[in-house]
Amino acid sequence: MLSIDLVPCLSDNYAYLLHDPVSGAVGIVDPSEAPPVLAALAARGWKLTHIFNTHHHFDHTGGNIPLKEATGAVVIGPKADAHRIPGLDTGVGEGDTVTFGTETGGVFDIPAHTTGHIALYFAASKAVFTGDTLFAMGCGRLFEGTPADMFAAMRKLEALPGDTRVYCGHEYTESNGRFALHVEPDNADIQAEMVKVRALRAAHEPTIPSTIALERRTNPFMRAANAGELGARRAAKDSFK
Ligand code: ZN
Ligand code: FE
């Protein structure tokens, strides 16, 4: 079972520090920047072995080169965007597996936010890293894909076991939840979740991880009936205050 620690980066990004206590492997998912990751490693006395990226955006890859230079860690990311992932060593896509210490991660292609966007799923540790595709109660903007792409991505993620923990790229939960309540004002699960989320954020605590089961009940994009409805909701969220 991996330990997974949040490493806050930039203004609202999370990188995730992974540790396999059996092998000593240490990974970071989506390092926006190197300094907070290096500080987290130093505090634990760990040496970084793996860098994982979900997609090419700078706020998910900005730490790749300095971390690779400092530690010699290998960089693993979406092969569909290999030319845009700094320092990439191994490109992966749908159906590939990644070996991390004694754990094996599965890879899903979930394009929509960007052309090459992957999810990493560690079944034994009940954890999925969803980057900027699936957020707690939300989804990423459609910069390089279509509502149909995002609808398909949601079907892959929705199919994971309900107790899978969802680790996404940003702390957007409170804003997402306000929009979710706008879409489904009578949804008791969203109402209850927002009580928890508002309390956590008032205390400056993270709301991550969510779970797949919670997203099925509260996420207006996972709950959209078809690509058209998802696209209309995404367009409404883009201008939602
Ligand atoms: Zn992004
Ligand atoms: Fe991002």
Length of the chain: 241
Q: How far is the CA of 59 from the centre of ligand 2 (A)?
A: 5
Q: What is the per-residue pLDDT across 183-227, written as a single tens digit (0 to 9) for each? A: 999 999 999 999 999 999 999 999 999 999 999 999 999 999 999
Q: What is the per-residue pLDDT across 17-72, written as a single tens digit (0 to 9) for each? A: 999 999 999 999 999 999 999 999 999 999 999 999 999 999 999 999 999 999 99
pTM, two decimals, is 0.98
Q: How far is the CA of 158 from the centre of ligand 2 (A)?
A: 21
Name the domain count of the chain. Answer: 1
Sheet-wide strand order for 26-29: 3-9, 13-19, 26-29, 50-52, 74-78, 90-92
Q: What is the per-residue pLDDT across 133-168, written as a single tens digit (0 to 9) for each? A: 999 999 999 999 999 999 999 999 999 999 999 999
Percent of the chain scored above 70 by pLDDT?
A: 100
User: What is the full DSSP assignment across 39-70?
Assistant: HHHHHHT----EEE-SS--HHHHTTHHHHHHH
Name the average pLDDT for the chain: 98
Which of these, 96, 100, 84, lies nearest to 28 by C-alpha position?
100
Residue with tokens 């920047």: 33
| Structural domain for 89, as ranges | 3-238
pLDDT at 241 over 90: no
What's 30's DSSP letter?
S
Q: What is the CATH number of the domain that holds 211?
A: 3.60.15.10
Q: How far is the CA of 23 from the centre of ligand 2 (A)?
A: 30
**Is 50 tagged catalytic?**
no
**Is 163 tagged catalytic?**
no
**Is 60 tagged catalytic?**
yes
Catalytic residue chosen out of the listed positions 57, 109, 117, 149: 57
How many CA atoms, within 13 angstroms, populate the side-chain half-sphere of residue 46? Answer: 24
